[in-house]
Amino acid sequence: MKKLIWPILALTLTACQDKLPERSTANLHELPAPELGESWTPKNDEQAQNILAHTREIVNERAATSGVMNRDAHPKAHGCVQASMTIDNKNLPAAHRVGVFAQNAKTFDAWVRFSNGDPDGAKKPDIEKDVRGMAVKLMNIEGSESGSQDFLMITSKEFFSKDGDDYLKLFNALTGGTARLALYGITHPLSAKRLLGARVKIANPVKVSYFSSVTYKLGNRSMRFKAEPCAATAETIPANPGPRYLQERLVQTLAKGSACYNFYVQPNLDPQRNPVEDPRQIWDEKKSPYIKVGTITIPQQTGITSAAQTNFCENLSMDPWHSHPQTRPLGQINRMRALIYKEISRMRHEGNRTTVLEPVNHTPCVGATAALCETPKK
Ligand code: HEM
């Protein structure tokens, strides 16, 4: 059905978007930063609550058939792998040496979770086009309330929703049948174009680039960030791809050797053309160049598909608001995520009779975080 639906979305008509200039915070984390282009109104609170209510319903419905309460988005993991990130801030202007980028040559231990984005993806073969995810959790971060710095990235440079209003309309369209979805595509052509473009086929999760897609704070500026494989290697999709070939490729690659990513920030030097409240816009890389700020190393390893590590991967909570305040998420989409990720993580852990915990090392199955490796229970 989706094969028929998505092309309809590509039809072009003018989108109509409202500006929401007022300042309000309601129940979400930090005050909005209008000086960085953030806007938030009580209407956005309503939208966030609305999206959360729908998400809860969907997660509950799926759990009723599968017996396990999975993530609403990115439920299909290729695996969680041990990693580290070493900071290299020598090319970063002094004002931007904040949060985890403050100290040159500092190495943080990390976990990386690779995933497919489709909410129904657990049932779908990897060969289907999808948004792919790479979520990096740096551990033991001073100044971060959760103790972690999570960088959530997808295989798309731009996001497909403008703001809270647009996201809610897409969400309702996706769950409202073909006619509603077609109407959304016709009235929101840029969002539809971005959504279609975000869905890709890949050969190996550790051989492609991932992007923040939405905007974050970098001291006194806004930024995007990305992770790019250290060496470009051409890899083709297998001739007869199994339903989990991306996990197979991940396991095979790391059994033979290590993987490496260069991590970049892109300080926003042109806020007029790169508005925080429209992450669908392309940022000109000549005007706002990427600056390398670190290297993510994923060492050679085995055990990725062991029962304990699979449970750990399921029980992990990646959240863009697990952050140092100086690199916190920005914009309406991100502010909605503040409410939704926390609540959906809490709900699925409660539903699976497991515990929300943050790992602090590469041996999470022993000691205080051992519950992270328990089997989710019906
Ligand atoms: C309002 C917009 C969004 C909503 C409502 C939403 C919702 C969610 C939810 C509910 C989860 C599962 C959280 C959990 O149970 O622990 C999730 C995971 C994820 N989301 Fe979003 N999301 C949004 C925007 C984005 C954006 C802009 C990105 C771009 C990077 C993104 C990337 C991811 C990734 C990579 C994961 C998987 C994290 C993991 O590996 O555990 N999402 N999202």
- Give the tens place of pLDDT for each residue, 32-57: 899 999 999 889 999 999 999 999 99
**pLDDT band with cut points at 50, 70 and 90 for residue 3:** very low
Contacts (Cβ under 8 Å, ≥6 apart) of 322: 137, 144, 146, 147, 148, 149, 150, 358
Which residues, judged by CB distance below 6 Å to any ligand atom, belong to the binding site of ligand 1?
51, 55, 71-74, 113, 115, 133, 135, 152-154, 159, 167, 212-214, 316-318, 333, 336-337, 340-341, 344-345, 348
C-alpha span between 13 and 79 (Å, rounded): 40
Q: Point out the ligand 1 atom lying closest to the alpha carbon of residue 52.
A: 5
pLDDT, position 20: 35
User: What's the 135 CA to ligand 1 centre distance in angstroms?
Assistant: 9
What separation in Å is there between the alpha carbon of 299 and the centre of ligand 1?
26
Question: How many angstroms separate the alpha carbon of residue 266 from the centre of ligand 1?
Answer: 21
Question: What is the residue whose two structure tokens read 């008509």?
Answer: 13
Mean pLDDT of 323-332: 96
User: 330 or 31, which is more confident?
Assistant: 330
- Say which residues have a Cβ less than 8 Å from residue 36's Cβ, sequence separation at least 6: 217, 221, 222, 271, 276, 330
User: From the CA of 167, how far away is ligand 1's center (Å)?
Assistant: 13
Structure tokens at 157: 């440079």
- The mean pLDDT value for 74-103 works out to 98
pLDDT at residue 121 is higher than 80: yes
Q: Which CATH class, in words, describes the domain spanning 2-18+39-373?
A: mainly beta
DSSP 179-236: HHHHHHHHH-HHHHHHHHHH-B--S-GGGS-EE--S-EEETTEEEEEEEEESS----P
Encoding tokens for residue 248? 């197979």
Q: Do 13 and 189 touch, CB atoms closer than 8 A?
A: yes
Atom of ligand 1 nearest to the CA of 159: 27
- pLDDT tens for 330-343 read 999 999 999 999 99
Q: What are the structural domain ranges in the chain?
A: 2-18+39-373
Please say if the pLDDT value at position 22 is more than 50: no
